[in-house]
Amino acid sequence: MLHTNDKIVKHKVGLLNLADELGNISKACKMMGVSRDTFYRYKEAVNDGGVESLLDQNRRVPNHKNRVDPTVESAVVAYAVEEPAHGQVRVSNELRKRGVFVSPSGVRSI
């Protein structure tokens, strides 16, 4: 079973091969439903980096979870061990009295 990236690469390579076989880029692009501009981008990518460069690149910026300072995290864990029955709001309030500032949702995410 082919993965999505494999199918995409196979389609792109197929377009390049079809254009070579036909000797007519416009005709190959019409048959495959791709613009000539896209064909030339594929061709340039293969010339620059080989077939591996045809893989779809993930352009999404990594979404790191909001992280608290390790000292705050250790204070929350220590308090939770000390008072396991307290909820996130109370833990946040009690730590605030001790000078450690963390929101209730921040306590929950730790």
- pLDDT by residue (tens digit) across 25-80? 999 999 999 999 999 988 988 888 787 777 766 677 777 777 788 899 999 999 99
Cβ partners under 8 Å of residue 108, min gap 6: 88
Distance (Å, rounded) from C-alpha 18 to C-alpha 109?
Answer: 53
Q: Which helix (H) or strand (E) holds 4?
A: helix 4-22
Q: Tell me whether residue 94 is in a domain.
A: yes
More confident residue, 67 or 21: 21
Q: What is the pLDDT of residue 56?
A: 67
Domain that holds residue 83: 70-109
Q: What is the pLDDT of residue 104?
A: 92
Q: Token pair 């029955």 is at which residue?
A: 85
Q: How many domains does the chain have?
A: 2
**Same domain flag for 42 and 80:** no
The DSSP code for 54 is G
Which two tokens mark 99?
């000078």
Distance (Å, rounded) from C-alpha 21 to C-alpha 82?
Answer: 74
Mean pLDDT, rounded, for 16-25: 92
Distance (Å, rounded) from C-alpha 40 to C-alpha 45?
Answer: 8
CA 7, chain centre distance (Å): 20
- pTM, two decimals, is 0.49
Tell me: pLDDT of 82 over 80. Answer: yes
Which of the listed residues 29, 54, 79 is the one where a domain comes to its end?
Answer: 54
